Each structure stands twice: as C-alpha cells, then as structure tokens.
Structure 1
Amino acid sequence: MALRNALLAALIDRESSGYDLAKQFSVSVANFWTATPQQLYRELEKMQADGLLSARVVKQDRRPDKRLFSVTEQGRAALYAFTQRDPKPTTVRDELLIQVEALAHADVPSVRSSIEAHLKTSRQRLETYERSLADILGSRSHDEFLATGNRIGPYLTLQRGISFERENITWGRLALDILARRFPDS
C-alpha cells in the first residue's frame, strides 16, 4: 500500500505517463521510497482498476501512444485518508551494516570496498537531491520559498534525503578512517 500512496503523492499535482513517472520517481521520491519501473507500471494498472487514477491516451508521432495518469477524486480521498493515520516506524535494513557488524570474521579489504562504494553512491545521490532542491527553490532563498512556495512537501522530503546522505557520507568517512587505523596492512 505504501507504493500506492507514494504514487498518489507523486501524481497529486499533475498528470504523468508511466515512463515520465518512473523517471520522476527515481529523482523526487527515491530519497524515501524505491520501486522498479515494472512495480510502478503494475501498481498504476491496479490503481486505475480500483478507481484511484484515470488515464487518457495521447497520440504521438514516431512513438507509441502514451497514457497519462491523473488522480481521481477517489484517489484524492484515499491519499487524504492515508495522511490521517500514523505511519509505521522506520526500520533500518542495510546489508553493509551486516558486513561491518561481522568485521571480526570478514575480509577487511572487501568491507572497505563496500564502504567506498556506499560513499560513492551517497555522494551521487546527494548531488542529485541538491540539484532537485535548487530546481524547487529557483531564484528564491530558503526563507523566501518557505514564505511563498507551493511545493513544501517535496522541499521537506528532499531536505530529509539530503540529511540522510550527508550522514551516510559522515559515517562512511569515519568507518574508513577507523579501518585504516585498525587494519593498516589490509
């Protein structure tokens, strides 16, 4: 059900094709919810069948026709109802942390390599989120946006994603520093 609500939130202000939604989803929503394009397409079909979305076909030259999805009144009511309930607490499930936890019985260079790869990914995500935030702000300062902007939800979720990736980077640097001091020969 959470994917359904993430899709409703992504579509609430404008219609979108499944393809464009998958691209948008990987940038705007990826900092708090992930899904494959196949999962998105399956869920869009179910949501349309359940009356939460409507779709219209747009003819295209030199490309297959595309379907644009938009939220129905029933979909708006479902999203509103979702915002009224208490969300489930976040639980961390991170394979890298299992590798680190097992460090006493692990191949230290492999764990170090995993941490470095994690750092690289976090840096890339941070850059993406910061670009998205700059797009939302436009030429406004944070204070000007908060006083006049209409995309407060995406602003706040991007701030959370930025904080999360900054913390991942801080932790990764700390872990690599400790491994370098503790296991200098590996």
Structure 2
Amino acid sequence: MAALLEGEASGYDLAKGFDASVANFWTATPQQLYRELERMESEGLIAARVVEQERRPNKRLFTLTDAGLKAVRAYTAELPGKPTAIRDELMVKVQCVDAGDIEAVRAGIAERMEWATAKLASYERLRGRLLDGRTEDEYFATAERIGPYLTLIRGVAFERDNLEWGRLALMRLEQRASGANGRA
C-alpha cells in the first residue's frame, strides 16, 4: 500500500518502480507483489480498473481505497515490532574466515562493495529526482510527502556503511594475509 500512496499504478509499474521506492528497506519478488495486490483487492484495501490497450494486453491500474488509506493510517499508528535481525550469508563466511578460504571471502566482500556502490548510484539518481533542483530543506518544507526521502536517506546511510565496513574488512584481511599482525 505504501507504493500506491504515490498514485494509481499497474502491477508492472509497481514491480518496476520497487527499486526506486521501497527496495532500500523492503524486498519482494514480482510474484509476491502480484499476490499481495490480489489479496489487498479482495480485502477492499485497493481498487483496480482495467485499461484496454490496442497492441498490448489490457492492464489493471490499482489505487488505494478509503479503507486502504484508513489501514495505512492505522498501521503507522501502531508501535513497530522488534528490528529485523540481520541474516547475511557473507557475515557467516567472514565469521569463519580464519578456518576458511580467505581469498573467497575477500572476493565476497569486494562483490558486496560493488553492489553497495551500484545501489548508492541508484539512490543518488532517485535523490535528484525527488529534490528536483530543491535543497533538502526546501524539499522538506514543500514536498507533499517526505516519507520516501526519509527512507532514501536511511538506504544511503546503509550502503555507505557497507562500503566503509568493506574497506576496513579488506584492509584487515590483507594485513592478516601479509603477516602484518605477526602471523604468516
């Protein structure tokens, strides 16, 4: 429902735009997204209308209903649960690096850093679109909705932290491998 706060959208548009809206804090496959749209429609939280297209299959456009907006308000009024626990296979491999393949772990960290760099570039493009020539202060004073920007800031901080940790981890693993800590 959060993605539909921006306005009417097709399932395809929602899936395509997921990376630019909520993927910095929530993941879902297109199949999960379509199942969720069906569920929300059956519960009356969203409404769909069919748009006929000449050269492509007809598409369904979804909007939040009054009941959906009420559900969003009720949801945001609830206290959040415990923070999500990190489940990261790379961290398990880093934990085992002393008994494992240090080069493979270093490659995993480097790959994670490449991923973080790409995500940061994507987030910076999104930041530019959201700000649209405004300063952050102007955006917060004039934007109709500030939530997307606040979550974007969190995503940026997360990926910057991934890069900082990756640089530190690679440096320490390099020192370890070269015997800089008194070990061969």
TM-score range, shorter chain: over 0.9
Matches within 5 A, 1:8-19: 8-19=1-12
Q: Structure 2 regions of 5+ residues with no counterpart?
A: none
Corresponding residue SS for 2:60 = strand
Aligned residue for 2:134? 140
Which residue of 102, 107, 126 corresponds with 1:108? 102
1:129: how far off?
0.7
Corresponding residue SS for 1:143 = helix
4+ long deviations beyond 6 Å: none
Higher Rg of the two aligned structures = 2
Identity percentage over the alignment?
Answer: 51
The whole-number CA distance in structure 1 between the counterparts of 2:107 and 2:99 is 16
Give the alignment's TM-score, normalised by structure 1.
0.93
Matched, 1:72 2:65: yes
The whole-number CA distance in structure 2 between the counterparts of 1:25 and 1:178 is 36
Task: Kindly provide the amino acid, as one letter, of the partner of residue 124 in structure 1.
Answer: A
The whole-number CA distance in structure 1 between the counterparts of 2:54 and 2:146 is 37
Aligned residue for 1:45? 38
Matched, 1:122 2:116: yes
Corresponding residue SS for 1:22 = helix
1:21: how far off?
0.2
Corresponding residue SS for 1:131 = helix
Matched, 1:163 2:163: no
1:133-174 Cα offsets, whole Å, 9 max, x none, are 110000111111122122310010000000000000000011
Aligned residue for 1:172? 166
1:104: how far off?
1.6
CA contact (8 A) 1:136 1:151 kept: no
The whole-number CA distance in structure 2 between the counterparts of 1:144 and 1:10 is 23
